[in-house]
Amino acid sequence: MNLGSVILDQLKRDKIMDLLKEGKRVDGRALDEQRPLSIETGVIPKANGSARVRLGNTEVITGVKIQPDKPFPDLGDKGILICTAEILPLADPNVEPGPPTEEVIELARVVDRGIRETEMIDLHQLVLQEDKSVIGLFIDSSILDADGNLFDACSYASVAAILSCTVPKYEIKDDAPVLVEGVTSKAPVKTLPVSVTMARIGDYIIVDPTAEEEACMDARITITSNSEGNICALQKGGSDGFAVDQLIRCSEMALSTGTKIRKRFEQLT
């Protein structure tokens, strides 16, 4: 890191801190306010489901591909669900092509965990022949433009893409899955997961941090809730910690923000 950027970082941090003391943020939002969210579905007709999400200046496109697959050996009565994420090199000047970094692996696993642990999709309904053949949902997110809080942007795009997807029908013939032309159904969705990421800067907790805010945050937490208002997945990140009462407050903020975002998802169903 060169000296110039360090000084700039310190100035930015001071500015962000000064504003937080007055309950304000650089972009004029309240501490618990998300950036404007836009969700557009069906953007990639060749995918079984897709969505493009903009959360402020962060932009993600997610596609769902559905194909028959062998089940995992110990999970023969469940279909397959895999979420991945990639920060495309065109999304961020600091990202280079190559094997995924720790940060990207964490991102993909946190998005996956949110959708898996809420049990959004009834995987039992995706079994064609127990222990032999199941339907797999592959939910791949590409970050097109990175301006912080990739966790929520990827999660929202993944959920929206799943809600928009049409599942082709397969039948087992001679022990092999065969596509039944012209018959599709909706994905078996049981609940709507909403991921909410918060950053701690000093003693302040802010919802939906931008890249600038992330650069000076002390710690981060992502909490995913389901439609029933339960907490289903959580991940703390960043190089410092949280006090216990902050963690309780974060869970409450995640639930209240979750309710608002869930209404947006309900409009898609």
Report residue 76 as tokens: 């023969």
Residue 8: count other Cβ atoms within 10 Å of its Cβ.
10
Closest CA relative to residue 216, chosen from 58, 8, 4? 8
Report in angstroms how near the CB of residue 54 gets to other proteins at its nearest: 27
Residue 266: count other Cβ atoms within 10 Å of its Cβ.
11
Stretch touching other proteins by CB under 8 A, among 45-53, 110-118, 161-169, 208-216: 110-118
Report in angstroms how near the CB of residue 140 gets to other proteins at its nearest: 15
Query: How far apart, in whole angstroms, are the C-alpha atoms of residue 219 and residue 203?
Result: 11
Taking the alpha carbons at both ends of the chain, their separation in whole angstroms is 47
Q: Which of 50, 62, 155, 235 binds other proteins (CB under 8 A)?
A: 235
Residues 15-49: b if buried by 16+ CB within 10 A, e if exposed:
ebeeebeeeebeeebeebebbebebebeebeebbb
Whether 151 contacts 119, CB under 8 Å? no
Whether 15 contacts 24, CB under 8 Å? no
Query: How far apart, in whole angstroms, are the C-alpha atoms of residue 24 and residue 74?
Result: 51
Can residue 202 be called a binding residue for other proteins (CB under 8 A)? no
Nearer to other proteins by Cβ, of 202 and 241: the residue is 241
Stretch touching other proteins by CB under 8 A, among 27-35, 48-56, 163-171, 228-236: 228-236
Paired strand residues for 38: 54
Report in angstroms how near the CB of residue 166 gets to other proteins at its nearest: 28
Can residue 215 be called a binding residue for other proteins (CB under 8 A)? no
Report in angstroms how near the CB of residue 263 gets to other proteins at its nearest: 20
Can residue 113 be called a binding residue for other proteins (CB under 8 A)? yes
Can residue 108 be called a binding residue for other proteins (CB under 8 A)? yes
Residue 128: count other Cβ atoms within 10 Å of its Cβ.
19
Stretch touching other proteins by CB under 8 A, among 42-50, 86-94, 133-141, 235-243: 235-243
Instruction: Indicate if the alpha-carbon torsion angle 82, 88, 91, 97 is positive or negative.
Output: positive
The number of residues that bind other proteins (CB under 8 A) is: 35
Number of residues in the chain = 269
Nearer to other proteins by Cβ, of 14 and 252: the residue is 252
Can residue 226 be called a binding residue for other proteins (CB under 8 A)? yes
Report in angstroms how near the CB of residue 160 gets to other proteins at its nearest: 22
Stretch touching other proteins by CB under 8 A, among 27-35, 128-136, 140-148, 248-256: 248-256
Can residue 199 be called a binding residue for other proteins (CB under 8 A)? no
Binding residues (CB under 8 A) for other proteins: these are: 1, 6, 102-103, 105-106, 108-109, 113, 117-119, 221, 226, 229-244, 247-248, 251-252, 255
